[in-house]
Amino acid sequence: MRTFPDDLTRAQQEWSATYRQLAERPGRTELRRRLYRLSAEVFFHPYWQHRRPGPGAWWELRQLGRAGGRAAR
């Protein structure tokens, strides 16, 4: 399991929570804007500058976001 920076993990957790809220309440402009901002924050995070993220890295990060920052088993 990789170790991700806390702010990257937090952004992914917020992304997952916002995505769930948007699924429950579609058409909410503020949630769509927040999701867009968080997507950019995660995708362009400095952690990825020197590492080319592969599918495995994205999967692990998404799992951390869904699990609230705890390693999913």
Per-position pLDDT tens, the chain of length 73: 678 999 999 999 999 999 999 999 888 899 999 999 999 999 999 999 887 788 988 899 999 888 765 544 3
Residue 1 within any structural domain of the chain: no
- Structural domain of residue 14, as residue ranges? 6-66
| Nearest C-alpha neighbor of 72 from the set 1, 12, 18 | 1
Is residue 24 within 8 Å of residue 7, measured between CB atoms?
A: no
Residue 72 within any structural domain of the chain: no
Residue 38 within any structural domain of the chain: yes
Say what the pTM is: 0.81
Residue 43 within any structural domain of the chain: yes
Residue 44 within any structural domain of the chain: yes
What number of other Cβ atoms are within 10 A of residue 9's Cβ?
Answer: 18
| HSE-up of residue 27 (Cα within 13 Å, Cβ side) | 0
Number of domains in the chain: 1
Residue 71 within any structural domain of the chain: no
**CA–CA gap between residue 63 and residue 55 (Å, rounded):** 12
Residue 73 within any structural domain of the chain: no
